[in-house]
Amino acid sequence: MDSGETTMTFTGKQLTTQLDADGTLTLQLNDKTWDAPKAGQVLIKVEATPINPSDLGLLFASADTDNAEYTPGKIVAKMPDNATRAMKARHGLAMPAGNEAAGIVVAAGEGAEHLLGKRIACVPGTAYATYAVADTQMAFAVDDSVTAEQAASSFVNPMTALGFVETMKMEGFTGIVHAAAASNLGQMLVKICQEDGIPLVNVVRSDAQVKLLKDLGATHVLNMTDADYMPKLIDAIAETKAMIGFDPIGGGTVASQFLTAMEAAASRGAAFSRYGSSEAKKVYIYGALDLGPTILNRAFGLTWDLGGWLLTPFMMKAGPEVVGRMRARVMKDLTTTFASHYKAHVTLEGMLTKEAVSEYNARRTGEKYLVTPQA
């Protein structure tokens, strides 16, 4: 590592993922040099960075990782043709990855000097690396008592879960339906809604997940693979008035089922109307666990909305006061409500092994990996 007033640079490794026009996907570790950060930015030495579903979309998308070629520090896999075509904009680009991280600030740009030497939680988008640059707007310093592991997932999931509740309030709704609700994020949402007295309908896909959330004290937990899922969903929405939904699955009929059940709950006992109920119903898709198309049966009248939800634009819309309040709450409850759990820790090299990929890329509940580049 070189350092100095004017020529301070830092060297290390950075993971990139590159999709070529012929469908070849290459993940590899490259040597990389970081310069001093610009105004409003900091450079962190990355201590810990989780592998979230949103990272997997960039790292692997729908590539065939079972039959990929694994060598130390490198993976070469084949992407299906339709996915290769759909991602034309990234052909030939070696893209860094890793949404969020905890790390120690080793260099600070103008206006960020107060963070120098501190451990921060941040969203560099390039965290699978020895160092990473982060915007201070998407970062906060953590207390001295907070470990890197605790801080690593303290931005995206906690702020997203709190963001759902803020979105619900901003749009005038009073209860939430959540799909894939047994995720780390979903467990946080269960706790937030309990604390705030907000009705929450959790939708999961196995009895084990039902038990997991019931054990956390959740009231409404439905297994979408049950034969009577739809009537139960209608009942739960009728009881809770949960007319806003959040769906990280995206593909298939999850959002359509939410809107259909909201419509059925809203028009329960009402006279038939060819245009459906006039009560607002909204579902946000915030992920793509299923990369297939979204199928809407439109059996929910004409008063409905479906949209995409993403943390950064939400934070810009919500404004600094709301975001500051959310951030303070995350810090306060980081080891309780907002604690994340990891199945395993891996190094940058370790995350490129077949054993690791086969586990974390399966996107199974409770099998999240944490990358620790300095280990």
Q: Which residues bind a second copy (CB under 8 A)?
A: 54, 57-58, 86, 89-90, 93, 95, 250-251, 256, 267, 272, 274-276, 278, 285-286, 288, 293-310, 312-313
Transcribe 188-245 into DSSP letters.
HHHHHHHHHT--EEEEESSHHHHHHHHHTT-SEEEETTSTTHHHHHHHHHHHHT--EE
Q: Which residue, 63 or 210, is less far from a second copy as judged by CB?
A: 63
Amino acid at 45: K
Contacts (Cβ under 8 Å, ≥6 apart) of 330: 154, 155, 158, 159, 162, 338
State in angstroms the smallest separation of the CB of 86 from a second copy: 6
Here the tokens at position 203 are 């939708």
What is the torsional sign of CA 184, 185, 189, 195? positive
State in angstroms the smallest separation of the CB of 91 from a second copy: 9
In whole angstroms, what separates CA 187 from the centre of its chain? 13
Q: Which residue, 298 or 343, is less far from a second copy as judged by CB?
A: 298
Amino acid at 348: L
Q: Which residue, 191 or 282, is less far from a second copy as judged by CB?
A: 282
State in angstroms the smallest separation of the CB of 164 from a second copy: 14
Helices (H), 197-228: 207-215
Residue 179 DSSP symbol: E
Residue 91 DSSP symbol: B
How many C-alpha atoms does 134 have within 13 Å on its Cβ side? 35
Q: Which residue, 39 or 299, is less far from a second copy as judged by CB?
A: 299
State in angstroms the smallest separation of the CB of 104 from a second copy: 27
State in angstroms the smallest separation of the CB of 230 from a second copy: 12
State in angstroms the smallest separation of the CB of 56 from a second copy: 11
Q: Which residue, 97 or 165, is less far from a second copy as judged by CB?
A: 97
What is the torsional sign of CA 233, 236, 238, 243? negative
d(CA 276, CA 266): 9
Q: Which residue, 4 or 275, is less far from a second copy as judged by CB?
A: 275
State in angstroms the smallest separation of the CB of 316 from a second copy: 9
**Cβ–Cβ < 8 Å for 254, 225:** no
Backbone angles phi, psi at 305, to 5 degrees: -145, 140
State in angstroms the smallest separation of the CB of 274 from a second copy: 5
Backbone angles phi, psi at 62, to 5 degrees: -105, 25
Q: Which residue, 12 or 250, is less far from a second copy as judged by CB?
A: 250
d(CA 185, CA 53): 11
Q: Which residue, 70 or 229, is less far from a second copy as judged by CB?
A: 229
